[in-house]
Amino acid sequence: MKEKWEQFSTEVEKSNSELNEFLFNGGLNTLVLKKAEKFVKQWNNTKKLALEIEKYIMVVDPLEIQFPFKNERLTEMWQRWKDYLSEQHGQLIRTRSEKSAIEHLLELAKGDEEKAVKFLRYAMTNRYKNFFAIEDKDTKQPDKRETKGSDFD
């Protein structure tokens, strides 16, 4: 976001320079300049508002995320998890939150990357916003005996 804000600020400055060049060196007569005062006042208010908004723009540089996963499946599942949160819940994971979430996931899974994959898959399947430790019995396929005689046979 910081990069986009800097691009926006640069464009505002360029526009301001072009406007000043046009108004004061464009050979406009006094009547036209008088009529432009209302526009210039609005333009100055817009620049002032942009400076006020800048206070709320993220000024913290993002962290570089180094995936500690050895398992490529977990790396792919993690990306799927981030995409899922964005698509399903409209949540964007910023870098500090992502780093903490990765650490938390590995802690919940006790370092077992296959368990971590199951935790993420289970949370997405059930449309949860968060992942959590689950028992193996929650992720197992039902026994043939358990499904025998069901409506799905």
Residue 36, C-beta contacts closer than 8 angstroms, at least 6 positions apart: 23, 28
Summarised one tens digit per residue, pLDDT across range 90-123 is: 999 999 999 999 999 999 999 999 999 999 999 9
Residue 44 lies in a domain: yes
Q: Is residue 85 part of a domain?
A: yes
Task: Give the residue-averaged pLDDT of 21-35.
Answer: 83
34 within domain boundaries: yes
Q: Distance of CA 20 to CAs 10, 28, 37, 43, Å? A: 15, 12, 12, 11
Q: Tokens at residue 49, please?
A: 């508002």
- Which pair of tokens denotes residue 13? 């400055």
In the chain, the percentage of residues whose pLDDT exceeds 90 is 42
Same domain, 8 and 35: yes
Domain limits for position 103 = 72-140
Averaged pLDDT of the chain:
85
Report the alpha-carbon distance of residue 33 to residue 121 in Å, rounded.
Answer: 64
pLDDT in tens, 39-77: 888 988 988 888 888 777 766 788 899 888 898 999 999
> Which tokens is 78 given?
């993690």
Amino acid at 45: N
| Residue 67 falls inside a structural domain | no
Of the candidates 75, 153, 94, 89, the one whose C-alpha atom is nearest the C-alpha of residue 124 is: 89
117: number of Cβ within 10 Å:
22
Residue 146: inside a domain: no
Structural domain includes residue 116: yes
